[in-house]
């Protein structure tokens, strides 16, 4: 395990296979995105707000799905690109996926991978990790 890898730090702290941890993982992703919302493309910014409403129970599964579909549409044909804007949209898409479905480890790992590759602030990510999981992460 690498303490420089945020996924390793989180997965060594919690059991993501435990359904009780899924809400925290979802909260972590949305909290992290809210910390960098001004760095996201406009379509992703409004989607972070939709993800917050979903977490609070103020939006339905179908509403979250519709937001995800709109995000995919904005990157159609570029979805495999390493362009930071595309990666930031994909990071936001991860936060709109329910953790209770298949492969919660994968969803969090993709979120973190897209975050890092897009150049979003690791300091803000560390703050969200501490707020959600109580772990200290240093990107050194």
Instruction: Compute the mean pLDDT over every residue in the chain, rounded to the nearest whole number.
Output: 89
At 131, is the pLDDT very low, low, confident or very high (cuts 50, 70, 90)? Answer: very high
At 34, is the pLDDT very low, low, confident or very high (cuts 50, 70, 90)? Answer: very high
Distance, in Å, from the CA atom of 124 to the CA atom of 130, rounded to the nearest integer, reads 10
pTM of the model: 0.90
What is the pLDDT, as a whole number, of residue 100?
Answer: 55
Cβ–Cβ under 8 Å, residues 89 and 44: yes
């Amino acid at each position: 395990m690498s303490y420089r890898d945020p996924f390793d730090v989180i997965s060594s702290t919690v059991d993501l296979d435990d359904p009780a941890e899924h809400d925290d993982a979802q909260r972590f992703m949305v909290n992290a995105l809210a910390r960098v919302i001004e760095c996201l493309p406009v379509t992703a910014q409004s989607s972070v707000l939709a993800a917050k409403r979903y977490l609070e129970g103020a939006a339905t599964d179908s509403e979250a799905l519709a937001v995800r579909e709109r995000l995919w549409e904005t990157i159609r044909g570029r979805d495999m690109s390493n362009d930071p804007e595309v990666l930031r949209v994909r990071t936001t898409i991860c936060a709109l996926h329910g953790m209770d479905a298949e492969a919660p480890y994968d969803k969090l790992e993709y979120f973190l991978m897209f975050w890092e590759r897009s150049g979003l602030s690791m300091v803000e990510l560390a703050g969200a990790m501490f707020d959600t999981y109580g772990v200290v992460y240093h990107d050194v």
